[in-house]
Amino acid sequence: MGQATRSTTQSMPGSGGACREAARPRPADPRSPVSTVSLAPAVQRLIDETPRGIPEHLSPAEQRDYAYLLSELVFLRYGLPGPRVHSVRDHHVPVAGGTILVRVYRPRDAGRLPGHLTLHGGGWKFGSVTERVADAMARQRCREADCVVLGVDYRLAPEHRFPVPLDDCYAAVAWTVANAGELGLDADNLSIGGSSAGANLAAAVTLRCRDEGGPRLRFQLLEVPALDLTRETARATLASGVLPDVPQPTMEDAPSSYLADPDEARDPLVSPLLAEELSDLPPAHVMTAEFDVLRTEGEMYAERLAVAGVPTTHQRYPGALHGTAMLTRTWEGARQWQRDAVDALRRAHWAMESAESGLVPLR
């Protein structure tokens, strides 16, 4: 991945792994297409050795089992487990129509600590807090950012379409605030984040918190975010010729699984990039991958947040694909991605307390 490019303006990616999308259209500008690229060996190995797609004859539940097993195998081969933490406890949180699992990782026992809710990827159809990749990231961020990490196992499509997954995540935030004392949390120092579909849900939660008078979150961490479910931004990116012919997240069927009506894709809670007003949202850090079809919408969102006066930072990672942030065993670029995510969380949660505590914000 090498050194990340950074753009910062004040007042301005696991479960969402790499899969082959439909054939890329001919570049719109033939004078400057990118058709081939030399990938890092670890990234090329992932492409060569990972099966593409999921058998269509399987039921949704069987497809989910297949994706779960594939995620576990890929992570066992290419990922590093997370460090030991003080405790890991499961809570079954009541939501409309049922309960969801919230897995809570705590770095140490004493005192009330900041909290970070994390939402896994998987195209709204797949993924779980119980996957090894989700566990490893939660442990690292818990231990190294010195905050309680809460993994939210929101219900999945197509059995649970919009707005159920979003409602589950919003309910998890409300539950966290209501139970902050029992959880040993500082209710005024909470953040939210996610990867891919999880980043979509995290961004949508911040919009709901603002518009519905919900909890005031300190920060949002958006990794390889999917923010335009009309797919218009992604299709334009594919047609522009700026991406090489590499595997892309299978996103064309995600909206049809997540949404009962395609017109819902224009709802800003489905496509936060389309929200008219982005002011008064939590400060954000947006992480994008150079060779990801979702790169453009993530970077457009970061720009729009900044223009709206939201303190926002952005990093684009050279040589990265949509799902390569989990290659922590085999690729330094993935390890740098995870370190940068930890740094962003640590700065967000501890900067204001550093004067009293002696903690020096990471740079």
Find the catalytic residue in 292, 314, 340, 349. 292
Active-site residue, 92 included: no
- Joined tokens for residue 197: 């579909």
Find the catalytic residue in 116, 120, 314, 322. 322
Strand partners, 221: 193, 285
User: In whole angstroms, what separates CA 241 from the centre of its chain?
Assistant: 25
Cis preceding-peptide flag for 163 (omega within 30 of 0): yes
321 vs 227: CA distance, rounded Å: 17
Q: Check residue 87 and report its DSSP letter.
A: E
What backbone phi and psi angles, to 5 degrees, belong to 299? Answer: -75, -35
361 vs 352: CA distance, rounded Å: 9
How many Å is the Cα radius of gyration of the chain?
Answer: 19
For 302, other C-beta atoms within 10 Å of its C-beta total 27
- For the chain, percent helix, then strand, then coil, each to nearest 5? 40, 20, 45
Is the Cβ–Cβ distance between 7 and 312 less than 8 Å? Answer: no
Burial of 48 (0-12, 13-18, 19+ CB in 10 A): exposed
User: In whole angstroms, what separates CA 109 from the centre of its chain?
Assistant: 27
- Joined tokens for residue 105: 């990782």
Residues 6+ apart with CB under 8 A from 140: 82, 83, 338, 342
Find the catalytic residue in 15, 196, 228, 271. 196
CA atoms within 13 A on the CB side of 168: 26
Q: Check residue 274 and report its DSSP letter.
A: G
Active-site residue, 354 included: no
User: Which residues participate in catalysis according to the annotation?
Assistant: 196, 292, 322
